[in-house]
Amino acid sequence: MFTIWGRPTSARTQKVLWALAETGIEFEMVLASGTMGPDGSVENGGEPYGIVDTPAYRAMNPNGTVPTIKDGDFTLWESNSIIQYLAMKYAPDLLYGGDLETFASASRWMDWEGNVFLPHQHTLVMNLVRLPPEARNPDEVEKARRALLTPLRIIDDQLSRTSFIAGENFTMGDIPIGMRVHRWFLFDLETPDLPHLRRWYEGFRLRPAFQRHIADPALHLSG
Ligand SMILES: N[C@@H](CCC(=O)N[C@@H](CS)C(=O)NCC(=O)O)C(=O)O
């Protein structure tokens, strides 16, 4: 039995759901969150899904964050580590071509997503979607937009040389950055010409796993 605890609007949960759908394994999802629930975010008066503050959940994930997975007796948190686990256990050929160097290259882009792209996109999410309108800061939005232009160009440059982020085939490395790039376009901010990134984006958007768990704008734009 494979279980994931998370919420559908969480970027980190979405990445894992995309990877799970790529593997095709059966899983159960338990809705869990301290900050959002069925009626939106706690910031906007909604009730959270909960669970993350219970002793049973904290015993699995002491951070009280989502996602967490349980595969049989094995428990794991940290979204990108979960994706790497899924890749190695269930889909090495599909998610890294069964090749160590491709795995390392994809893994590097996954770290980069968390270290370089995510902090600025988090600012955008808060100031465009999650915070109540009176608490949003347009200067912060512009600063974060500008800060993301460099990483977007780095992705575009990589994709001018390879079809996908870690080589000629789709890998697990495309999942975290792909989700972030989708969010970037949904925010509809001023964007430079990024022809290689656009070509890659138009391609992976057709994947059924992306369509199922990432594509819907409401998953990214509802606070
Ligand atoms: N580095 C962790 C971060 C986990 C994290 O902060 N998740 C967010 C959702 S994207 C969260 O739990 N937010 C609070 C909540 O929903 O209760 C990971 O990648 O899994």
For residue 5, what are the β-bridge partners?
30, 68
Nearest atom in ligand 1 to 7's CA = 16
Assess if CATH 3.40.30.10 describes domain 2-90: yes
* Tens digits of residue pLDDT in 143-177: 999 999 999 999 999 999 999 999 999 999 999 99
Residues with Cβ < 8 Å from 179, sequence gap 6 or more? Answer: 11, 14, 15, 18, 214
Nearest atom in ligand 1 to 77's CA = 20
Q: Are 30 and 4 in contact (CB under 8 A)?
A: yes
Q: Are 129 and 220 in contact (CB under 8 A)?
A: yes
Q: Note the maximum CA span of the chain.
A: 50
Tell the residue number behind the tokens 């909604």, with chain if given: 46
Q: Are 11 and 87 in contact (CB under 8 A)?
A: no
| Cα–ligand 1 centroid distance for 66 (angstroms) | 5
Please tell me the pTM assigned to this model.
0.97
pLDDT of residue 38: 87
* Tens digits of residue pLDDT in 100-154: 999 999 999 999 999 999 999 999 999 999 888 999 999 999 999 999 999 999 9
**Cβ of 144 less than 6 Å from ligand 1:** no
Backbone φ and ψ for 140, nearest 5 degrees, come out as -65, -40
Backbone φ and ψ for 31, nearest 5 degrees, come out as -70, 125
Residues in the chain: 223
| Cα–ligand 1 centroid distance for 30 (angstroms) | 15
* Spatial distance between the Cα atoms of 47 and 31, rounded to a whole number of angstroms: 13
pLDDT of residue 88: 98
**Cβ of 11 less than 6 Å from ligand 1:** yes
222 falls in which pLDDT band (50, 70, 90)? confident
**Cβ of 12 less than 6 Å from ligand 1:** yes
All structural domains of the chain with their residue ranges = 2-90, 97-207
Q: Give the pair of three-digit tokens for residue 161.
A: 């040389």
Q: Are 197 and 152 in contact (CB under 8 A)?
A: yes
Range 172-199 average pLDDT: 98
User: Does 39 have pLDDT greater than 90?
Assistant: no
Classify domain 97-207 at the CATH class level.
mainly alpha
* Spatial distance between the Cα atoms of 28 and 127, rounded to a whole number of angstroms: 32
User: Does 2 have pLDDT greater than 80?
Assistant: yes
The pick from 4, 5, 10 for probing ligand 1's pocket by mutation, whose C-beta has the most ligand atoms within 8 angstroms, reads 10
Summary mean pLDDT of the chain? 97
